[in-house]
Amino acid sequence: MTLRQNAILEVDALERRFDVSAPWLNRLIERKPRKTLRAVDGVDFVIQRGQTLALVGESGCGKSTIAKLVTGLHAPSGGNIRFHGDRDRLQMIFQDPFASLNPRWRVARIIAEPLRTLKPGTPEAQVSARVDELLGIVGLAPADGLKFPHEFSGGQRQRISIARALAGEPEFLVCDEPTSALDVSVQAQVLNLMKRLQKEMGLTYLFISHDLSVVRHMADVIAVMYLGRIVEIQPTADLFANPLHPYTQLLLDTIPDLEAPRRDRSPMGGEVPSPVSPPSGCSFHPRCPLAFDRCRTERPQRRPQIHNRRVACFAAEEGTADVQ
Amino acid sequence: MSEVVLDVQNLRVEFPTRKGVLTAVDDISLQIRRGEILGVVGESGAGKSMTGMSILGLLEPPGRIAAGTIHLSGDRIDNLDDRAMQAVRGRRIGAIFQDPLTSLNPLFRVGDQLVETIRLHTDLDKTAARVRAKELMREVGIPAVEERIDSYPHQFSGGMRQRIVIALALCAEPELIVADEPTTALDVSIQAQITALLKRLCRERGTAVMLVTHDMGVIAETADRVAVMYAGRLAEIGAVDDVVRRPQHPYTNGLMGSIPSLSNDVEELQMIPGSMPRLNAIPQGCAFNPRCAHAGPRCRAEVPKIAREETTGAACWLAQTGTVDQGEAA
């Protein structure tokens, strides 16, 4: 298996359930049953060293839960995560640059925290030299280390988050919507910075986003999620050239394209169902134009003989999918 | 040419603070005609929402309109007192905001909220208003209206809630709708449904729409014309296709280049160095000049303007005169 030799992260049949039952007394009196939400429902993927795997999907599809499972902020309810690297060298960048930096700490202390935690006993002079270096890497000045987070704009704060993540000399970064809170021109600065750092330091990214155009720019491989499952996973160019799953096709159809705006399209109806009571069979079937009986009862899997495990869809399996 | 519904001339919005007066909107002029959708686009702090809020008469004190006029179908509305403005808002101007959950009262059934609004703005009695409410709900694409009319807002999904908000905005058949980031809180597949709905309804009724958003993609697919704002000023205005494909202003150009494309591959996204100035530190001359690759002496000295009567143009010395050298005035 040459493919797996260079894998840094392997995720197998990963599951995470949350108990969303009513309180005990209500269950007792009103005879309400226990309820579980399957946020992540049997997900598997592999990330190669130095590459970027992107998870895309709409709110509630489980992409952020996967980020928390991979970083160990949640424990899996099932399946496993194998990380072939140094756990200390796994870092995370969060979405909200306003909430993820301690407002009462100066920036230098924020950036130095991973250094001080992971390598206690590092001489102070060395720590501050490293902080200055990191500030430089992300395009800030050493003098910025003396300021507090509120003195910076959103884009600059996200640079500080990146500097902090880099302080631990990571090899693997989990980035949960790192630019969603930023304006487009600032987003471009941060995305370019992240790409440059990946090239220079050989970083691997697990990149989570709802924005397909950002993902197209950043990722080598894209996994499309729907209600806790990966419905399609393909190298970026293939996914855009030849989307296999009807949901991916829907997503690609609905994002406005600046170069070719479709001003009189009729958007597809329906909404993402509640993950507490997902539809039977393939959870996309109520919205799917290609759905047939089998989709309502059976759950499709990604199988080696179907487009080389790239898609979980009976329509694709039976060759009825609209493949241009 | 159909009639002008909204006519904003030289609008200026100021916020007096202890440290001095901040100008959030600086000399904006724009017009929207019947049945036209004007997109107002810009990054955070560009003043796009402030422009919308001043048209709605909803500026938070101490913010105030310091100069300029706003006319709605020929009637001046910027100098109305609160009571008179209340009669205009809702009846003649509808509003749609970003977060549908905070636009609806969580304690009342959506049907009752619709009926209340309809009765406030028309002479219909309770029964007729309820019939009208159902019609509106059907029109905005709510399934099973008979059952859903007595549901509470929290029982609806985000997309369905935004449909209710649109129905509320349409209650009194307003001449103008100000929609401030109406799809920002929604997922992409829902976003497309809502913009298509908004577009269809306004076409059918001839309502003028001011669509305020940061999302150039939404503008490209929805609006007829677009106004690009930067640091409280109008940077560029024109037909959507022209502005998207052939931006005249270097800021618009940079903005377009920084959006990752769905069809072209680029190794690096175009970047605009720096960030938008804060309101207390707007540079002399053209507000964009410190970030502009083409800036010259004139850009640092004089503020470029788009003539008030122009419907197309860029506030840029280079685009207007072909040179950034000191103008004859200096």
Q: What is the pLDDT of residues B289-323, one digit of tens each?
A: 999 999 999 999 999 998 877 788 999 999 998 88
> How many Cβ atoms are within 10 Å of A123's Cβ, its own excluded?
8
Amino acid in position A317: E
| Contact: B262, A212; criterion CB under 8 Å | yes
Instruction: Concatenate the DSSP letters of all residues of B174-230 into one string.
Output: -SEEEEESTTTTS-HHHHHHHHHHHHHHHHHHT-EEEEEES-HHHHHHH-SEEEEEE
DSSP state of A261: -
| Contact: A256, B217; criterion CB under 8 Å | yes
Nearest-angstrom CA–CA distance, A108 and A171: 22
> How many Cβ atoms are within 10 Å of B310's Cβ, its own excluded?
12
pLDDT at residue number B327: 58
For residue A217, give the nearest of B43, B255, B269 by CB distance.
B269
pLDDT at residue number A323: 42
More confident residue, A58 or A324: A58
Lowest mean pLDDT among A103-107, B207-211, B264-268: B264-268
pLDDT in tens, A182-200: 888 889 989 999 999 999 9
Q: pLDDT exceeding 90 applies to what percent of chain B?
A: 62
- For residue B222, what is the nearest residue in chain A, using CA coordinates? A263
Residue A2 has pLDDT above 60, yes or no: no
CA distance B195 to chain A (A): 9
Question: Are the C-beta atoms of residues B149 and B143 closer than 8 Å to each other?
Answer: no
Question: Are the C-beta atoms of residues A245 and A56 closer than 8 Å to each other?
Answer: no
The residues with which B6 forms a beta bridge, in sequence order, are: B32, B72
pLDDT at residue number A265: 66
| Contact: A214, B260; criterion CB under 8 Å | yes
Average pLDDT for B251-259:
91
With H, G, I as helix, E, B as strand and everything else as coil, classify residue A207.
strand
Question: Are the C-beta atoms of residues A191 and A208 closer than 8 Å to each other?
Answer: no
| Contact: A255, B262; criterion CB under 8 Å | yes
Kindly list the residues from chain B whose CB atom is less than 8 angstroms away from the CB atom of residue A183: 43-44, 214, 276
| Contact: B275, A212; criterion CB under 8 Å | no
pLDDT in tens, A292-302: 999 999 999 99
Residue B133 has pLDDT above 80, yes or no: yes
Nearest-angstrom CA–CA distance, B83 and B89: 10
- For residue A156, what is the nearest residue in chain B, using CA coordinates? B275
| Contact: B272, A257; criterion CB under 8 Å | no
Assigned CATH topology for domain B4-92+172-321: Rossmann fold (3.40.50)
Nearest-angstrom CA–CA distance, B274 and B79: 38
DSSP state of A311: B
Q: pLDDT exceeding 90 applies to what percent of chain A?
A: 61
Nearest partner of B192 among B205, B183, B204, judged by Cα: B183
Q: pLDDT exceeding 70 applies to what percent of chain A?
A: 95
pLDDT at residue number A15: 95
Average pLDDT for A17-22:
88
Kindly list the residues from chain A whose CB atom is less than 8 angstroms away from the CB atom of residue B186: none
Kindly list the residues from chain B whose CB atom is less than 8 angstroms away from the CB atom of residue A188: 257-260, 269-272
Alpha-carbon distances, residue B28 vs A101, A297, B4, B42, B294 (angstroms)? 37, 59, 16, 14, 24
| Contact: A213, B261; criterion CB under 8 Å | yes
For residue B220, give the nearest of A58, A188, A261 by CB distance.
A261
Residue A34 has pLDDT above 90, yes or no: no
Question: What is the Cα Rg of chain A in Å?
Answer: 22
Amino acid in position B87: A
| Contact: B221, A262; criterion CB under 8 Å | yes
| Contact: B272, A185; criterion CB under 8 Å | yes
What is the DSSP pairing of strand A90-93 with strand B233-239?
unpaired
Residue B232, phi-psi category: left (phi > 0), alpha (psi -120 to 50), beta (remainder): left
Lowest mean pLDDT among A50-59, B153-162, B242-251: B153-162
| Contact: B260, A216; criterion CB under 8 Å | yes
Average pLDDT for B138-163:
89
Kindly list the residues from chain A whose CB atom is less than 8 angstroms away from the CB atom of residue B193: 267-269
Kindly list the residues from chain B whose CB atom is less than 8 angstroms away from the CB atom of residue A155: 275
Question: Are the C-beta atoms of residues B207 and B146 closer than 8 Å to each other?
Answer: no
pLDDT in tens, B38-83: 999 998 889 999 999 999 999 988 999 999 999 999 999 999 999 9
Q: What share of chain B is helix, strand, coil (3-state, %, to 5)?
A: 35, 25, 40
Kindly list the residues from chain A whose CB atom is less than 8 angstroms away from the CB atom of residue B272: 185, 188
Which pLDDT band holds residue A59 (cuts at 50, 70, 90)?
Answer: confident
Average pLDDT for B194-222:
90
pLDDT at residue number B273: 86
Nearest partner of A227 among A309, A316, A299, judged by Cα: A299
Max Cα-Cα span within chain A: 68
CA trace torsion B26, B54, B202, B220 (10° rounding): 30
Q: ∠ at Cα A226 (A17, A301), nearest 5°?
A: 85
> How many Cβ atoms are within 10 Å of B221's Cβ, its own excluded?
24
| Contact: B193, A267; criterion CB under 8 Å | yes
More confident residue, A42 or A270: A42
Question: Are the C-beta atoms of residues B179 and B198 closer than 8 Å to each other?
Answer: yes
- For residue B193, what is the nearest residue in chain A, using CA coordinates? A267
Average pLDDT for A235-260:
88
Q: Strand A90-93's sheet: what is its strand order? A: A90-93, A172-176, A204-209, A52-56, A221-226, A229-235
Nearest-angstrom CA–CA distance, B232 and B45: 8
Question: Are the C-beta atoms of residues A36 and A274 closer than 8 Å to each other?
Answer: no
Nearest-angstrom CA–CA distance, B289 and B297: 10
Instruction: Concatenate the DSSP letters of all residues of B285-321 into one string.
Output: SSTTGGG-TT--HHHHHS-----TT-SSEES-HHHHH
| Contact: B275, A153; criterion CB under 8 Å | yes
CA distance A195 to chain B (A): 8
More confident residue, B151 or A277: B151
With H, G, I as helix, E, B as strand and everything else as coil, classify residue A83.
strand
Q: pLDDT exceeding 70 applies to what percent of chain B?
A: 98
Angle separating helix axes B158-170 and B110-121, nearest 10 degrees: 20
Peptide bond connecting A149 to the previous residue in cis, omega within 30 degrees of 0: no
CA distance B120 to chain A (A): 33
> How many Cβ atoms are within 10 Å of B325's Cβ, its own excluded?
11
Which pLDDT band holds residue A30 (cuts at 50, 70, 90)?
Answer: confident
pLDDT at residue number B70: 96
Nearest-angstrom CA–CA distance, B28 and B14: 13
Kindly list the residues from chain A whose CB atom is less than 8 angstroms away from the CB atom of residue B293: none
For residue B221, give the nearest of A59, A185, A261 by CB distance.
A261
Residue B13 has pLDDT above 70, yes or no: yes
Nearest partner of B268 among A134, A196, A7, judged by Cα: A196
What is the DSSP pairing of strand B93-96 with strand B176-180?
parallel
Amino acid in position B54: S
pLDDT at residue number A324: 38
Nearest-angstrom CA–CA distance, B310 and B167: 34
| Contact: A210, B188; criterion CB under 8 Å | yes
Tokens read off for B290: 């410190």
Kindly list the residues from chain A whose CB atom is less than 8 angstroms away from the CB atom of residue B270: 188
> Mutation test of the interface with chain B: which of A182, A183, A213, A247, choosing the one with the most B Cβ atoms within 10 A?
A183
Average pLDDT for B177-196:
88
Question: Are the C-beta atoms of residues A210 and A199 closer than 8 Å to each other?
Answer: no
Question: Are the C-beta atoms of residues A160 and A101 closer than 8 Å to each other?
Answer: yes
Kindly list the residues from chain A whose CB atom is less than 8 angstroms away from the CB atom of residue B264: 259
Which pLDDT band holds residue A31 (cuts at 50, 70, 90)?
Answer: confident
- Boundaries of every domain in chain A: 2-26+33-244, 245-256+279-324
Which pLDDT band holds residue A72 (cuts at 50, 70, 90)?
Answer: very high
Nearest-angstrom CA–CA distance, B260 and A182: 14
- Boundaries of every domain in chain B: 4-92+172-321
Domain A2-26+33-244 architecture: 3-Layer(aba) Sandwich (3.40)
With H, G, I as helix, E, B as strand and everything else as coil, classify residue A47.
strand
Nearest-angstrom CA–CA distance, B46 and B55: 16
Q: Which residues of B141-171 are buried (b: 16+ CB within 10 A; e: fewer)?
A: bbeebeebbebebeebbbbbbbbbbbbbbbb
Question: Are the C-beta atoms of residues B55 and B240 closer than 8 Å to each other?
Answer: no
- Chain Cα centroid distance, residue A37: 19
Tokens read off for A13: 């049949």
Chain B residues bordering chain A (beta-carbon distance below 8 Å): 43-44, 157, 159-160, 187-193, 196, 214-218, 220-222, 240, 244, 254-264, 266-272, 275-276
Kindly list the residues from chain A whose CB atom is less than 8 angstroms away from the CB atom of residue B268: 192, 195
The residues with which A56 forms a beta bridge, in sequence order, are: A209, A224
Question: Are the C-beta atoms of residues B224 and B216 closer than 8 Å to each other?
Answer: no
| Contact: A185, B254; criterion CB under 8 Å | yes
Nearest partner of A7 among A35, A47, A59, judged by Cα: A47
